[in-house]
Structures are given as C-alpha cells and as structure tokens.
Amino acid sequence: MIFHKKTGYWIKNKFRPGIYIQHIYFFQIVIIQLLLWGCASPPPPVSVIQKAEIPVSVFIAGYSVQNRPILCIRAGSGEEIILLIASIHGDEIAGTPLAYSLLNYFRNNPHLLEGRTVFFLPLANPDGVAAYSRFNRRNVDLNRNFPSANRQDKKRSGDFPSSEPETRTIMQLIRTYRPARIISIHEPMNCIDYDGPGESLAAFISDYCYLPVKKIGAMPGSLGSYAGAELGIPVITMELPEEATVMDTEILWQLYGKALLASVLYPQKPEHSFVRTEMNEKNARGKIPEAK
C-alpha cells in the first residue's frame, strides 16, 4: 500500500517487481514446507461446510437509449424489499463494484437476507457508464427526469417527465416491487443525504461509515423528490467522496461496505464481522469529516 498524498487515501501499490520477488520467495518456502509435511504424515481430513444458498436471479429490467440491457439482480425471497441503485450518473461508478461486493457478502452470509429481498440495479445508466458521462445517451440527467412536481423544464431534464427509458425502468421497479427503502449511490458530495421519511435511516447508516448526514435538499426531478418526497419511500443518496471512482474495490468495501449492509438490515445492526483493519483506520483518519 502507498499513501496517496493528493487524496489522503491508502491505495494499491503501483507495480514494483521487488514485491513480487518477495512473494515468490515466500510461496517457495510454503510449498517446500507442505512437501516435507506431506512426506511425514497424511493430511488431516477436510470438513466441507455447506452454506445455505440464497435465491439469486437476474432479469432485464429495461433497456437504455442505446439498447443496452439494464440488469437487475434479485437476491433473497423475503417480504421486505430494498432497492439498491448504482451508477445512475455514469461518471459516478464506485457504487457498481460496491453493489456486487454487497451481493457477494450476502451469498456468504445468507442468513442476513432472511425476511428480505434486495433488488440490485448495479448499472442504472449503462450508456452513461460506457461513455463515462453523467448523462444518458440523449444527454439527459436521469436524476432530473423523474416526474416529480418540482421537475424543471430544462434541456438536461429531458423533453418531458420520465422521457428516458432508464428513468422509466427505475419507476417500473418501484411500482412493481414497492420497496421499503431505496439506496442510490453517487459521488462526490461526501455525505449521506435523504429524501422522504429517511432521516433515522440516514443517521443509522452514517454510524457505520465516515459520511455525515447532510440534507442537501430535494433536487428537481430527482429520484429523491419522486420516490421520497412524493411516494413516501425513504430514499438515501449515499454520496461518496470524489476519490471513490479510482479506489480499489476492496478499499471501497472496507470503507462503505458496512454502511451499505446497515442500509439493508435496518433497523437491525450489522454483525461485527467486519474487522477494522489498519488500512481502514488510516483511511478513516485521513477522511474524518467535520462535525455534522
């Protein structure tokens, strides 16, 4: 790990041959020891622990302007529905690996999904992500295109409310599954924002990461205005810091995984299975926000 002075984060080493040589050396020692051990006595029996499986299915929730499928992953079969949306702005992509990390975590800890179903929308704006653009292919900001009363008639808001297929895909998911809460991952405001009745949920999530709760205000035509303020669903906008896009997935998970897990388990507290690593502590020290 090296300390990235500009961002204050610990990031992965650049390629340094010396490290690989050290690793090869280390593995050689392990292999030699295993060989010696194998000669001396037979290996102990290995017990295989069978984990309960969670039902996971993938379906195409809709198509983008450029006809890219918008995939939705359904995990669990419980009554409480949680919708998790990532990369609705195509240049704020850190939420996508986080969503997959959370799905993976549930596969390894299936009991946590008892009574719950999570719908993951890891790439809500696939055309925007492909072009590394905030907007969709028609240059519309999808998070200004929802049919809320405060939507403004601007070029970036689309020709009319919910004019964009990506917006309609999210609306269709909300209408069909009626989520108890919606989590949408963005950058770069470095805070937890909420709309609708989401204040206590926001505070709960904030306790598990270093993002303070900050009420930014309902943006015109946003998901928060539509689903939060108007449909009455708690909507959390998890605003990661600017650096999140270039962070390694593992670091992202260590910094924000527990908060995401908390957003699904709410009001149940996440188990203390996340051990605070030295790296996480260093990151936290580098990024403790000012008082809320």
Q: What are the residues binding Zn ion (CB under 5 A)? A: 89, 92, 186
Q: State in angstroms the smallest separation of the CB of 45 from Zn ion.
A: 52
Query: CA–CA separation, 136 vs 262, rounded Å?
Result: 30
Least distance between Zn ion and beta carbon 66 (Å): 20
Q: Nearest 5°: CA angle at 100, between 203 and 181?
A: 35
Query: Which of 8, 186, 176, 174 has its CA nearest to residue 95?
Result: 186
Nearer to Zn ion, 8 or 188 (CB): 188
CA distance 43 to 33: 13
Tell me if 8 sits within 8 A of 244, measured CB to CB.
Answer: no
Distances (CA, A) of 201 to 122, 206, 217, 266: 21, 9, 16, 7
For residues 89 and 137, which CB has a smaller minimum distance to Zn ion in the complex?
89
Least separation in angstroms between residue 195's CB and Zn ion is: 14
CB closest to Zn ion, residue no: 186
Q: How many helices (H) and strands (E) does the chain have?
A: 8, 9
To the nearest whole angstrom, how small is the minimum distance from the Cβ of residue 211 to Zn ion?
Answer: 14
* Shortest Cβ 129–Zn ion spacing (Å): 12
Closest to Zn ion by CB, 89 or 181: 89
Nearer to Zn ion, 116 or 144 (CB): 144
The pair of structure tokens assigned to 82 is: 């949680």
Q: Tell whether the torsion through CA atoms of 26, 30, 31 and 35 is positive or negative.
A: positive
**Is 106 or 226 the residue whose CB approaches Zn ion more closely?**
226
Residue placing its CB nearer to Zn ion in the complex, 70 or 223: 223
Write down the least CB distance from residue 89 to Zn ion, Å.
4
Q: Which is nearer to Zn ion, 237 or 280 (CB)?
A: 237
> Considering beta carbons, is residue 181 or 186 the nearer one to Zn ion?
186
The Cα 292–Cα 279 span in angstroms is: 24
**Residue 239 C-beta: closest distance to Zn ion, Å:** 7
Q: How far apart are CA 225 and CA 210, in angstroms?
A: 25
Task: Please state the closest distance from residue 186 (CB atom) to Zn ion, in A.
Answer: 3
Residue 186 β-bridge partners: 239
SS (H, E, C) 149-211: CCCCCCHHHCCCCCCCHHHHHHHHHHHHHCCCEEEEEECCEEEEEEECCCHHHHHHHHCCCCC
